Structure 1
Amino acid sequence: MPARESLLDAAGAALARRPWSRVRMVDVAAGAGFSRQTLYNEFGSKEGLARALLRRETDGYLRGVDRALAQEREPAERLAAVAAWTVGAARANALVRAALTGCWSERLPVPSRVAGSTSSVLAQRRADAGTPSSAELLGLVRDRAVAALGGRGRDPELALACESALRLALSYIVAPARDDDDPAELVRGAIGRWVAGR
């Protein structure tokens, strides 16, 4: 496994055990089996490590959205799959939950943006760009859903249906329902008629 991924794994593991403010770079490096200098060479600083970790988690969430949308199913079923993935990913990963809701606890690194990264490494430039805001992340998911469901040009009704499906899923994240409540079922019922026949 490349040093970068090992270091990000170690940072994630450290964050699971203690608040970000108490995560030490030397411990992350040791946990990954690399020198502290390697860690600094990869990320530049603890803030750079935080940006890269947050970016990796949001990119992983978006890959899951893409998988849900790529299924050979009816449009409402694909949106329901996105809703189920969103709720599951947010429940399993505090960074994804914070990125989706904009609610950052004191335990987590707070996202920051760096203007104009000069790194020659593509992965570092992406990490330096920071993570999208909650509104930007919602927009990315909505736009991916519209494209996957065959939306052409400006299709405001489809865009509204896709955004509404995601907002219904977000409601399950910020105000959890009973264990037997199913966000996918709610999306199917509420959104299905909007996207029928696509």
Structure 2
Amino acid sequence: MPAARESLLDAAGRALAHRPWSTVRMVDVAAAAGVSRQTLYNEFGSKDGLARALMRREADGYLAGVERALTGHADPRDRLAATAEWTATAARGNALVRAMLTGSWTERLPEPARPGVPSTSTVPAQRRADGPLPAPGDFLRMVRDRAVAVLAAPGTPTSDTAKLAFACELALRLGLSCVAAPAGDGGTAALVHHALHRDFEG
């Protein structure tokens, strides 16, 4: 029931934007999505299952935005600047994305899954979205490695690939720094362009 699932996740996301997760009620999420509470439980198994699925969807949405940023420009610096800008914008605009990228989980948010705690739900695993989310460092490495894969030309020497990986990581860390302290004139993209002006010369 893909349509119902997406409607439930949308409703859960809207509820979380307005109040702490601990006060969000399953019956209210179901009503907001226009489905029965039983449908909600059939899809996610529990409130924890709903939370994990919502986190996974937000993580996937962030990574899809990274992919768009990396492929939306010709110049490598523009690609990295767009990725850093997207990282800052996504994290500022979405509390779950911000928590996933920075590790700063607040009491308003659902608790992330802890490693080594198996679920006892009978709902299929792919629908429960079981398992812990990647840690902030894992997210950074995933995006850095994807950026390197997009930007590195075939046959690039190892030393040049390492330099490129450093530049990609620097751009991402600049993006994350702008979540806490927004960039001034020119925004995050200008910071990245300035920081990387030597890395892509020639």
Q: Partner of 1:183 in structure 2?
A: 188
Tell me which amino acid in the other structure corresponds to 1:145: A
Letter in 1 for 2:188: P
Q: Which residue of 1 aligns with 2:165?
A: 159
Q: Could you list the runs of 5+ residues in structure 1 that have no partner in the other structure?
A: none
The normalised TM-score by structure 1 is 0.89
CA apart distance, 1:60 = 0.3
Residue 78 of structure 2 corresponds to which residue in structure 1?
77
Q: CA separation in 2, counterparts of 1:183 and 1:100? A: 16
CA contact (8 A) 1:55 1:130 kept: no
Structure 1 stretch displaced more, 62-71 or 186-195? 186-195
Partner Cα separation in structure 2 for residue 137 and residue 12 of structure 1: 21
Identity of aligned residues (%): 61
Q: Deviations 1:58-105 (Å, cap 9, x if unpaired)? A: 110100000010123211110000011111111211111111111011
Tell whether the 8 Å contact from 2:167 to 2:196 is kept in structure 1 after alignment: yes
Q: Which moved more, 1:169-178 or 1:151-160?
A: 151-160
The answer to whether 1:87 aligns with 2:102 is no
Shift in alpha-carbon separation, 1:43–1:120, aligned structure 2, 3 A: closer
Q: 1:88 to 1:147 in 2, by over 3 A?
A: same
Is 2:170 the counterpart of 1:168?
Answer: no
**Structure 1 position 174, deviation (Å):** 2.1
Matched residues in 2 for 1:11 and 1:47: separation? Answer: 12
Once the two structures are TM-superposed, the CA of residue 176 in structure 1 deviates from its matched residue by: 3.0
Change (3 A) 1:67 1:191: same
Deviations 1:95-116 (A, max 9, x none): 1111111101111112114667
- Long gaps (5+) in structure 2: none
Summarize the alignment of residues 98-137 of structure 1 with structure 2, pairs less than 5 Å apart.
98-113=99-114, 123-124=126-127, 127-137=129-139
RMSD in angstroms over aligned alpha carbons?
A: 2.3
TM-score, reference length from structure 2: 0.87
Q: Which amino acid aligns with 1:149?
A: L
Count of residues in correspondence between the two structures: 195
